[in-house]
Structure 1
Amino acid sequence: MSGPRPNACMNPIIPGWNPDPSCICVPELGNTFFCVVYSFSIFPGLPLYGSKDLIHWKLVCNIINRREQVPEIGTDRAQDNGIFAPTIRYHDGRFFVIVEYVTVEDPPTGFGLVFSALDPFDPLSWGNPVIFREPKGILDPDLFWDDDGQVYIQAGSFDQVIVQFNLDLETGISGPVKNIWNGTGGIAPEGPHLYKKDGYYYLLIAEGGTDLPHCVNIARATQPDGPFVPYEANPILTNRNTAEYFQTVGHADLFQDPEGNWWGVALSTRSGPEYRHYPMGRETILFSVVWAENDWPRLTSVKGRLSAPAFLPQRLDMPGTGHWHHEDELLEFPPKSPLPLHLVHWRFPPVNYISTSPTGQTHGLQLRPSRSTLTGSYGNISTNGVTLVARRQTSTLFVFEIDVKVPSNFPKGVEVGATTFVNEWQNVAMSLTSLQGAGSNSVVPRDGLYIKFQVNGKGAEPPQEHLDFIALPVEWANIQHIRFRIQATDYASYWFSTCPSNNENLDRSVPTVIRMVDNATLSGGTGRWSGCLLGAFATSNGMESEIVFAVEKWQYKNNGQVIE
């Protein structure tokens, strides 16, 4: 089922929370472009996208697809730790992705990972990574082979300098560290990439922090380790100090298409200089590049409508079973089927708490409530996991709906519903719950089913929190199915609603519970490195519960992008 096709000249090319992109073109695989992005604390992680025309992108694999590959995803409770910016490269018939698991504590305890695969479409081809634990305090590693086969790693560092070292990709043994460029004086020089062209080594970096001052700078040298001479016209790419809707442009990577034309990708937020409403976080944008012989690259400025001398012809012949970024979806979860590739969890979910129906039963996604909640209450959400299945919000305007079967034996204290989720400190949820009454003066005066609406914005700027319980309308008596809807009809707000559903047609004569939230609550703050997920969840709020909820319908409709 397809939604509106993307304009052939429109950014972002990979919408939704898809930051810090790194891209390559592989002629040996039918001139396919591959792009990998940062995934932080979600699982599966390191999504790998494929395209034949740079405009239509399909999720072809999740590089982190098994718990044993990076077990720390399931044991780290910090909101700011996780998988940061990757680099993808292709060398001697093999794909390599290098990345750092970053920890922000002092001293840092992060470590580097090198994944490799012969078949990028096969999740099992991406084996367990080679780990390198030295040097400490780095981020955004880059991978470069010189003509003599020597491997160089460039990385940002907590010391605010770009560093370089050699690395054995089979053993993880690293060589001495050398500082190679301090940048141009902006904060946070990071996201380096090294290229060799016309006898020069070009070092591309981001500076300014991943906020409004973000930019891309470049320097070059005649040796891979410098000394690097900066370009006098830096920055070569930025939207800072402009009124453009696309802001925070930076963290770029450059590559060539099959015709030899140069292109680049970078991250950007659709926030305007007001920088208040951008719940999808940092997205992947495309720009054209002119790079003449012996000259510096000239990068086209980033706007919603792409500008380029020519675009590649449309091609949709992409292998794999993943999701095209522009597609609508209607999921019914056939029995024993695997979850679609684009559905994710916050860290690792509880084992055997999320599945599709057993053979012979009605289609559905089965959710057993976790003790942990979306806010991390009642147990360690990292080690115990939370029952959450979600997808990225990939369009400004959308409708997301789930239909849930209501069990006749609904346990007290348990809840099931829909959420817009950024992290444990920034999320909004509407759910159905069974509560014990606390008297006429209480917000829960009597025993029964209630609609719970919770805004958890303690990590927002400024913090916002709200909790509301709504008694079920009398017309909802003997409810058997309930529909939760989250809708965005503009760039600044979410509408949450719920009412009974017979799983086929919504009865419009029955009252609907509706609430609205400003999506600034889910923009920036502690979630500044994340983006909004839309999903279904179930929690027992600290208790053990054997109940299993069935999500019998899941639908996402892309109603349009705001690009200016």
Structure 2
Amino acid sequence: MALNMAEILFAIMLLGGLALGNVTHQNSTYTNPILPGFHPDPSCIFVPSWDNTYFCASSSFNAFPGIPIHASKDLRNWKLIGNAISRPEMLPKLATTIKDTSGIWAPTLRYREGSDSTNKNGSGHGEGRFWISTTLVFDNLAANNESRWDNFVVSTDDPFKPDSWTDPVHFDFGGYDTSLFWDDDGQVYVTGSHEYKVWPGIQTATINLETGETGPWENPWNGTGGLAPEGPHLYKKDDYYYLMLAEGGTGEGHMVTMARSRNINGPYEAAPHNPVLSNANTTAFFQAVGHADLFQDVHGSWWAVALSTRSGPDFKNYPMGRETVLTPVTWEKGQWPIFQNASGITSGWGIPSEPILVSDGEGPYVDSPDHLTFPPNSTLPLHLIHWRLPTPDTYLVSPLGNENSLVLRSSVLNLTSTDGLSTSGKGQTFISRRQTDSLFTYQLDINASNLRNKEDEVGVSVFLTEAYHFDVGIVLLPQPDKNDTSGELAPYFRFRGMSGYSVPETVFPFPQYLSIDSPIALEIRAFNWTHYSFAAGPRDARHLMQTYGIARGEQLSAGFTGTLVGPYATTNGRQGSQNGEFEVAVGNWTYLPQGQIIN
């Protein structure tokens, strides 16, 4: 009997899983990525006192709210329960970051159990706290400028309360990727990555979490010689301190390395089989595997999470960016951990075959569709995000006269505005969600009747950064048979984009059956894993939708982030009280997942 490629891959992974050793409960298979889309640099923990729940945090860069927190009870189904950076006043400088690689870099999530059995807030959970250490990075500054790094910690006693994380406690460190560790005597340490362009290496110091004061910095290990040793995490097991790093840069050469010592400050002995995890120099579909974290499950078995791109070895098409993958780890007493390579279909330690859902939390599961109608007395859903901090009163949910819609107030800046303009703090009017599926359809109804002036534009975008995005919009432009100064404008559909590739702008007149005074549907569709289509048509006659542009996924594959989809509204640079901002109502926001490509 002939086997297809998917069956062969599954069989290989199953056989690999059977060799994991000392399995105390039945193995099972699951699918990666567990957090698809823009969820890089994962840090995950298991907290028994919180009803045997797993929690994961991810990087967010310039996106706000920042540092999404997901929860799961079965390692398959992950629910967004909040964002650790949810209030603009927590990090006001996020409004003025320059460069698309700036913003919030890798967070580390940890839980420190208290001594009492009940929580101060009466939740019935252990009286512990959740802690995040991370860095707000100004990546435009010189590598040796310590103002480049703003390191801080935030904490909460209940991550299911969306606005419960404390204001940041800042601490001085000339680097990034900071990680907290509690030793057996209760002493807290912070470990971080020094800027490798100055000198590559890892540093560790004691820290006071209330004041941010740190002790002398030690240099326990510099890795195995790979580019950019970073992403350090400390663990203690069997009287050894284990230090795990990422090396090789977050691209084709990414890898995970380990060392251990009897003393927290070293000297450290490198693992004899380094790198302990990497898909570099392979033909695997999942590439760039690295920046890992370790945790144990309810049975005591070990797991690792890491970032990965679904790019294949050619590393060209990966618009969703760096995603979170899960892989089993065998870690015998006194031995080095053995990681299974990351892949799409993976056999690992036992995971419940039937879903165990998280009852708390207001956000959606990561694989859920969107059907958003923005009803009265509601707020923006937890999974909708902006690029940098939003301007106040720019996004109005179901205001009087526009019930069951989201009203956008236009920005002067458009999605291609140069990084330097972001220092105004005014930002772009753009609200979005992560692309979490290889194949999807996104639709939105728009009332564009308030467009009045030349270059007034409202549309939808697949957005990676200001330098990489594709948009289809409704825009007012001079009629071609009229003088440009006549003031006679007409609505057009415009398809344009920014990329490392040449992207010609195309403009299309409205079809005769369409009016700007009637609701218009805009659509973005990933119709295969390498291409997007952009369409528009009358809301009430969707069979008349026309495609106005096609974009390739490789034109949106770059940098540290992943693609977002959502609406924007802009005057394209026009300012002034007479020809100022406009408002548009959008509604019937729909995102329909239609498939994941995993090999």
For residue 380 of structure 1, give the secondary structure of its aligned residue in structure 2: helix
Distance 1:496 1:373, change over 3 A: same
Runs of at least 5 residues in structure 1 that lack an aligned partner in the other structure = 1-6
Q: Indicate conservation of the 8 Å contact 1:378/1:541, yes or no.
A: no
- In structure 2, distance between residues paired with 1:38 and 1:487: 26
Pick closer, same or farther for the CA change 1:8–1:540 going to 2, 3 Å.
farther
- Residue by residue over 1:389-438, the C-alpha shift from the partner in whole angstroms, topping out at 9 and shown as x without a partner, is 10000000000111111316643321101001111111111100111236
Choose 467-476 or 534-543, whichever is displaced more: 467-476
- In structure 2, the CA distance between the partners of 1:205 and 1:80, relative to structure 1 (3 Å rule), is same
C-alpha distance in 2 between matches for 1:193 and 1:46: 18
Aligned equivalents of 2:515, 2:414: Cα separation in 1: 27
Of 231, 238, 243 in structure 2, the residue corresponding to residue 198 of structure 1 is 238
Match of 1:144 in 2: 181
Residue among 239, 250, 258 paired with 1:218: 258
Say yes or no: does 1:358 pair with 2:358: no
How far off its partner does 1:153 sit?
A: 1.1
Q: Which residue of the other structure, out of 412, 415, 438, is the alignment partner of 1:396?
A: 438
CA deviation vs aligned residue, 1:115-144 (integer Å, no higher than 9, x gap): 010111113320101011x222x1111110
In the other structure, the counterpart of 1:349 is 390
Q: Distance in 2 between matches of 1:428 and 1:82?
A: 22
1:471 is matched with which residue: 509, 518, 538? 509
2:525 maps to 1:487: yes
Q: TM-score, normalization: structure 1? A: 0.93
Letter in 1 for 2:397: T
Partner Cα separation in structure 1 for residue 419 and residue 332 of structure 2: 59
Distance in 2 of aligned mates of 1:226 and 1:266: 25
- CA drift of 1:70 comes to 0.7
Q: 1:455 to 1:335 in 2, by over 3 A?
A: same
Partner of 2:154: 115
The counterpart of 2:590, out of the listed 538, 555, 559, is 555
Say if 1:372 and 1:379, in contact at 8 Å, map to a contact too: no
Matching residue of 2:9: none
SS in 2 for 1:55: coil
Deviation at 1:8, TM superposition (A): 6.0
* Cα deviation digits, residues 57-93 of structure 1 (max 9, x gap): 0000111000110111102223222110010111130
| Residue identity in the other structure for 2:403 | T
Instruction: Please tell me whether the aligned partners of residues 372 and 539 of structure 1 are also in contact (alpha carbons under 8 angstroms).
Output: yes
- The letter of the residue matching 2:284 is E
Question: Is the Cα contact below 8 Å between 2:418 and 2:466 reproduced in 1?
Answer: no
Is 1:72 aligned with 2:93? yes
* More displaced stretch, 305-314 vs 383-392: 305-314
**Cα distance change of structure 1 residues 482 and 86 upon mapping to structure 2, 3 Å threshold:** same
**What is the DSSP-based 3-state SS (H/G/I as helix, E as strand, rest coil) of the residue aligned with 1:178?**
coil
Candidates 186, 193, 201, aligned match of 1:161: 201
Which of 544, 552, 557 pairs up with 1:523? 557
Q: Paired residue for 2:566?
A: 535
Matching residue of 1:135: 173
Q: Is the 8 A contact 2:98 2:138 kept in 1?
A: no
Tell me the distance in 2 between the aligned counterparts of 1:79 and 1:285.
24
Give the aligned residue type for 1:488.
A
Q: 2:15 maps to which residue?
A: none
Moved more, 71-80 or 388-397: 71-80
Say whether 1:367 aligns with 2:408: yes
Specify whether residues 409 and 130 from structure 1 end up closer, same or farther in structure 2 by C-alpha distance, changes over 3 A only: closer
Q: Whole-Å Cα distance in 2 between the matches of residues 546 and 309 of structure 1?
A: 56
Q: Distance in 1 between matches of 2:446 and 2:480?
A: 27
Offset at 1:309?
3.6
Give the SS at the match of 2:432.
strand
Higher mean C-alpha displacement, 430-439 vs 171-180: 430-439
Q: Does 1:256 align with 2:296?
A: yes
CA–CA distance in structure 1, aligned partners of residues 359 and 473 of structure 2: 38
Residue 21 of structure 2 aligns with which residue? none
Q: Which aligned pairs between 1:389-538 and structure 2 lie closer than 5 A?
A: 389-407=431-449, 410-437=452-479, 439=481, 447-457=489-499, 460=500, 463-477=501-515, 479-502=517-540, 505-506=541-542, 508=543, 510=544, 512-524=546-558, 528-538=559-569
Report the Cα distance in structure 2 between the residues aligned to 1:333 and 1:8, rounded to whole angstroms: 38
CA distance in 2, matches of 1:260, 1:35: 18
Counterpart CA distance in 1 for 2:101 and 2:472 is 26
Which of these residues, 115, 129, 153, is aligned with residue 94 of structure 1? 129
Partner of 2:5: none
Deviation at 1:336, TM superposition (A): 3.4
> Is contact 1:377–1:541 with CA below 8 Å preserved after alignment?
no
Q: CA RMSD in A?
A: 1.9
Q: In structure 2, do the counterparts of structure 1 residues 341 and 477 end up closer, same or farther at CA, with 3 Å as the change threshold?
A: closer
Q: TM-score, normalised by structure 2?
A: 0.88
User: 1:197-252: per-residue Cα shift (whole Å, max 9, x none)?
Assistant: 00100111111000011011110000111111001111111001111000000000
User: Number of matched residues?
Assistant: 544
Within 1, Cα distance between the matches of 2:451 and 2:247?
56
Match of 1:295 among 335, 340, 355: 335
- Aligned AA (1:418): V
Aligned to 1:229: 269
Which deviates further from its counterpart, 202-211 or 160-169?
160-169
Partner of 2:73: 52
Q: Using the alignment, how far apart are the partners of 2:545 and 2:568 within structure 1?
A: 24
Conserved? CA contact 1:254–1:264, under 8 Å: yes
Question: How has the CA–CA distance of structure 1 residues 468 and 25 changed in structure 2, closer, same or farther, with 3 Å as cutoff?
Answer: same
- Aligned-partner Cα distance in 1 for 2:581–2:133: 41
Aligned with 1:279 (options 300, 308, 319): 319
- Counterparts of 1:200 and 1:173, CA distance in 2: 27
**Residues 98, 420 of structure 2: 8 Å contact kept:** no
Quick one: distance in 1 between partners of 2:29 and 2:72?
13
Q: Deviation at 1:499?
A: 1.0
The counterpart of 2:417, out of the listed 376, 395, 412, is 376
Q: Return the offset for 1:464.
A: 2.7
Is the contact made by 1:51 and 1:318 (CA closer than 8 Å) also made in structure 2?
no
Alignment correspondent of 1:312: 352
Relative to structure 1, the CA distance from residue 359 to residue 447 in structure 2 (aligned partners, 3 Å threshold; closer, same or farther) is closer
Aligned match of 1:3: none
Q: Aligned-pair distance for 1:360?
A: 6.5
DSSP 3-state at the match of 1:18 = coil
> Residue 402 of structure 1 contacts residue 552 of structure 1 at CA under 8 Å; is this kept in 2?
yes
What is the CA-CA distance between 1:511 and the residue it aligns to? Answer: 6.0
Q: Cα distance, 1:337 vs. partner?
A: 1.2
Distance 1:365 1:312 in 2: 39
- Within the candidate set 165, 172, 184, 1:126 is matched to 165
Moved more, 91-100 or 311-320: 311-320
Does the 8 Å contact 1:218/1:231 carry over to 2? Answer: yes
Aligned partners of 1:367 and 1:548 also within 8 Å = yes
| CA-to-aligned-CA distance 1:282-303 (integer Å, 9 cap, x gap) | 0000001111000001111111
